[in-house]
Amino acid sequence: MTLKLISHNLCPYVQRAAIALMEKGVPFERTDIDLSNKPDWFLKLSPLGKTPVLIVNNMPIFESAVILEYLEDTQPPALHPEDPLERAQHRGWIEFASAILNDIAGLYNAVDQGAFADKQAELGRKFARLESQLGNGPFFSGSDFSLVDAAFAPVFRYFDTIDEIVGLGLFDDAPKVSAWRKSLSDRPSVQKAVSADYPLRLREFLQKRNSVLSGLILKDTQSAA
């Protein structure tokens, strides 16, 4: 079986799939595409025109949550809990990670202070909710790495760059979330899910948004010069 992951170098949804593949020790080939100039072959494979797409024996699977489920159905070790109720809860928390990714996009695209503050507050509420959900770690549901961890690692990775630009204080009252974030950033599969130039590329991407955050990057760059 050959597996190809059609990717974009900054896409957090691609990272979920790459992390799950590496956790399961499945070899795969990764092809990065330019989402601002989508190739025709990609549009033929991807009904929504979005990354990731996983190609399995020439058959495309789209939507990251579906790709994760397919990998779970076909490749050991299991990264979902065995109990159906717990498994359903994990799927719910993966959706929660997607909602946070939408809030992050809202934050970096916010064009005025009001919209920026709203997104900051919403992210604060979501991380507080997560704080009350977590146990003693090091991962979401204890000692075993799960698909929820694969979904949250790319969420936290954004803040490695955003924290350098502006202090949002999102994790100040969330010690369990902070410890979880650290456990995920130390995980080899998480580290290998992006290329070495990811922080630089993300900064460039954020700088081009014409947003409140872009303005802060500009100030940061000027004060460093």
Ligand X SMILES: N[C@@H](CCC(=O)N[C@@H](CS)C(=O)NCC(=O)O)C(=O)O
Interface contacts to ligand X, rule CB under 6 A: 8, 11-13, 35, 49-52, 63-65
Q: Give me the least distance between CB of 218 and ligand X, in Å please.
A: 24
In this complex, which beta carbon is closest to ligand X, that of residue 95 or of residue 163? Answer: 95
CB nearer to ligand X: give 48 or 85. Answer: 48
Please, what is the minimum distance in Å from the beta carbon of residue 72 to ligand X? 15
Crossing angle for the helix pair 113-133 and 212-224, to the nearest 10 degrees:
90
For 4, the enclosing helix (H) or strand (E) is strand 3-7
CB–CB of 130/149 below 8 Å?
no
Q: How far is the CB of 162 from ligand X (least distance, A)?
A: 16
213 and 206 Cβ atoms separated by less than 8 Å: yes
| Residue 157 or 183 with smaller CB distance to ligand X | 157
Minimum Å gap between C-beta 17 and ligand X is 8
Q: How many whole angstroms separate alpha carbon 12 and alpha carbon 153?
A: 9
Amino acid at 130: L
Produce one character per residue of 158-190: b if its CB has 16 or more CB atoms within 10 Å, e if not: bbebbeebbebebbeebebbbebbebbeebebb
Q: 11 or 148, CB closer to ligand X?
A: 11
Residues 86 and 157: their CA atoms lie apart, in Å, by: 26
Provide, rounded to whole angstroms, the least separation between the CB of residue 28 and ligand X: 16
CA atoms of 113 and 32, how far apart (whole Å): 34
Closest CB to ligand X among 63 and 122?
Answer: 63
